[in-house]
A = this chain, B = another copy of it.
Amino acid sequence: MTPSLLAQLKSKLRRRLLDAILISQPHNRRFLSGFTPLDHGIEESAGLLLIPRKGQPLLLTDSRFELVAGQDAPDFEIMVHRHGVVDLLKKLFNRLQIKRCAFESHYTLHATAAKLQEMARAQGVTLVPVTDLVEKMRLCKSRAELEKIAQAVLLNEEIFQETYRQLRPGMTEIEVALQIENRMRRQGADRPSFETIVAAGPNGARPHAVPTSRPLKEGEPVVIDMGLILDGYCSDMTRTVVLGSPDHQTKEIIRLVRRAQLAGMAALQAGVTGRQVDRAAREVIREGGYGDKFGHGLGHGVGLAVHEAPGLSPRATKKLQAGMVVTVEPGIYIEGWGGVRLENMVVVEEGGCRLLNKDTTFLDI
């Protein structure tokens, strides 16, 4: 935890008259502490942070993660609970004289909160639900974070290129997805940031298609949407490729989606709203005659989570800030025919945006 992050968080606690905050959301936990283990679902947490307004922050975990906690989070005091985390928290509330403690309402189960509340009430402690206090601190990326994201994007592109060069008609969607995910793991990614999408021909009409045993065919569009996690940070990239020569309609649609992407990027800068950016791209697709075939938002934030704030969509009314990282991913989806989506990642800057992708395959069809 950098001293400035800690100071920022402590000042938030002071303003809200909180003695401490309990962090359960896994990305927030990693962001603040560096602790890398994953939860096996929300029901099996690898650890919690307890950050008091005064004194050293604590990482509460169980014996499985004691060693890695010490390595990952040198600024934190590591406490291992043997009789459940509620029991340990009870002792810590007393020892640290915590009377008002925030908890992450958006990442705490109702049943867990009920148990915590019961214990807290008996100790005279008030638990205060908060929702996006740390998420707001994650919105604008530091220089070190931007460097990690750029590395993830770079590795993503290398793996895409290696896979693309070996694509042949007859390979199945599943086979292509497996090749991509195997390369990710062999080439040092932590893991994919989501299940790779390979959607050939008509299957591309569903934006969230799951790979099937359908073979790739010449001439049809194949949507490849892939992301990986490298040193904790995510990439997310989509290309739509065609084996052999695309027909006239396919070319026309790819060009239209590309123009929409460029229009979105041209509108992107600090101070505009996500809605304005979305509208700039959507307008191009509408004018091209496919307005009702672009059903999702234009983009989303990327960082420790592959989907995070801010969104670029008709509902996004907040102003973008320099240092945010977002995808720009317009698409056209036609039932029975297929889909085309192009997705790049950019950093929001004053007066414009900086493209993180270098790969231009198929962007100039």
Residues on A lying within 8 angstroms of B by beta carbon are 40-43, 64, 103, 105-114, 129, 131, 174, 178, 182, 185-186, 194, 206-208
Contacts and interface: CB of A to CB of B under 8 A. Distances in A.
Nearest to A108: B110
Contacts of A178: 182, 185-186
Contact of A113 (B41, B42, B110, B207): B110
Copies in the complex: 2
Given A107-B109, A110-B109, A111-B105, A174 B185 contact: yes
Contacts of A103: 110
Contact of A106 (B111, B129, B131, B182): B111
Contacts of A105: 109-111, 114
A221 B182 CA distance: 26
A106 B112 CA distance: 7
A9 to B, nearest CB: 20
A338 to B, nearest CB: 16
A357 to B, nearest CB: 24
A45 B292 CA distance: 25
Contacts of A185: 174, 178
Contact of A129 (B64, B108, B114, B208): B114
A108 B103 CA distance: 15
Contacts of A112: 110
Nearest to A38: B195
A319 to B, nearest CB: 24
12 contacts: A40-B194, A43-B107, A64-B207, A64-B208, A105-B109, A105-B110, A105-B111, A107-B109, A108-B110, A109-B110, A111-B129, A178-B186
Contacts of A131: 111
